[in-house]
Structure 1
Amino acid sequence: MKFDKFDREILRVLQKDATVSMAELSQKVGLSHTPCWRRVKRMEAEGIIKQKVTILDNKKLNLGVSVFIYVTLKNHDGESLNDFEASVQSIDEIVECHTTSGDKDYLLKVIVESIEEYEHLLKSKLTNLPLVDHLSSTFALKQVKNTTELPIKNI
């Protein structure tokens, strides 16, 4: 899909506030209502705009401990990888799971209330994930940057 300046501006505005009305959006990007609406609908249909969500403040919800966990598996065949990936889906505290290059297989991001809660999660669920050989946990001390906005200036 080709993007022009209006498409990019629509995406910028929606990334900052997905609750903006179509009238406000069209005014902010400099288009009339109908062409703006058509562009948004096209980007939704093409999967560029995947969903509109509400972003919660984890600290205000008493979920202030973020842990990054490198995972190394015992086996690397397709079935083992699929089993591991399917199993992480059922653990709510795992908010992100990425395959990685190098000597580690996965990087997990876990958000919990406390270190004690993480210890319980580690012992009761994480060490029991299929084919886990090694887990290496790192606790985030301070979040320096947090954005859900993609750098769309060059699309």
Structure 2
Amino acid sequence: MKLDKFDIEILKVMQRDATVSMAELSQRVGLSHTPCWRRVKKMENEGIIRKKVTLLDAKKLNVGVSVFIYVTLKNHTGDSLTRFENAVEDVEEIVECHTTSGDKDYLLKVIIKSIEDYEHLLKSTLTNLPLVDHLSSTFALKQVKNTTELPL
């Protein structure tokens, strides 16, 4: 789908506030209600707008420890990668999983309550993920920037 300036502006507004009403959205982007609604529906149908979510404050919910973990697997057959990726899906503390280039296979982001809880997760779950050869953990000390907005 080719996006024009109105589509881009709709996406920018919705990234900042997904609860904005269609009337407010159409006013902000300079379209009438119906054409704006059609554009939003088309972008939803095309999968450009995947879903609308509520963002939570991790610190206020006492889950403010972020850990980044590089993972190296024992082998790289198609089945082993799939087994690892499927297992990652079942660990709720893993909030992101990326395949990477270079000498590491994956980068995981874990959000957890405490270092002690991470140690338990590491020993009980992460080291037992399929075909894990090596894990290297780094704790985030301070979050300098946090945005959910894509640069459009």
User: How much does 1:15 deviate?
Assistant: 0.2
Q: TM-score, normalised by structure 2?
A: 0.99
Aligned to 1:137: 137
Determine helix, strand or coil for the equivalent of 1:142.
Answer: coil
Spell out the pairing of 1:4-153 with structure 2 (5 A cutoff): 4-152=4-152
Deviations 1:58-94 (A, max 9, x none): 1110001000000000010001000000000110000
Determine helix, strand or coil for the equivalent of 1:108.
Answer: strand
User: Separation in 1 of the partners of 2:123 and 2:2?
Assistant: 49
Q: TM-score, normalised by structure 1?
A: 0.97
User: Separation in 1 of the partners of 2:150 and 2:64?
Assistant: 24
Aligned length: 152
Determine helix, strand or coil for the equivalent of 2:86.
Answer: helix
RMSD of the TM alignment (CA)?
0.4
User: Separation in 2 of the partners of 1:9 and 1:68?
Assistant: 33
User: How much does 1:2 deviate?
Assistant: 1.4
Determine helix, strand or coil for the equivalent of 1:118.
Answer: helix
> 5+ unaligned residues in a row in structure 2: which ranges?
none
After the TM superposition, which parts of structure 1 deviate over 6 Å for at least 4 consecutive aligned residues?
none
User: How much does 1:38 deviate?
Assistant: 0.3
Identity %, equivalent residues = 82
Determine helix, strand or coil for the equivalent of 1:104.
Answer: coil
User: Separation in 1 of the partners of 2:41 and 2:108?
Assistant: 33
- The amino acid that maps onto 2:65 is V
User: Separation in 2 of the partners of 1:26 and 1:82?
Assistant: 43
User: How much does 1:3 deviate?
Assistant: 1.3
User: How much does 1:5 deviate?
Assistant: 1.1
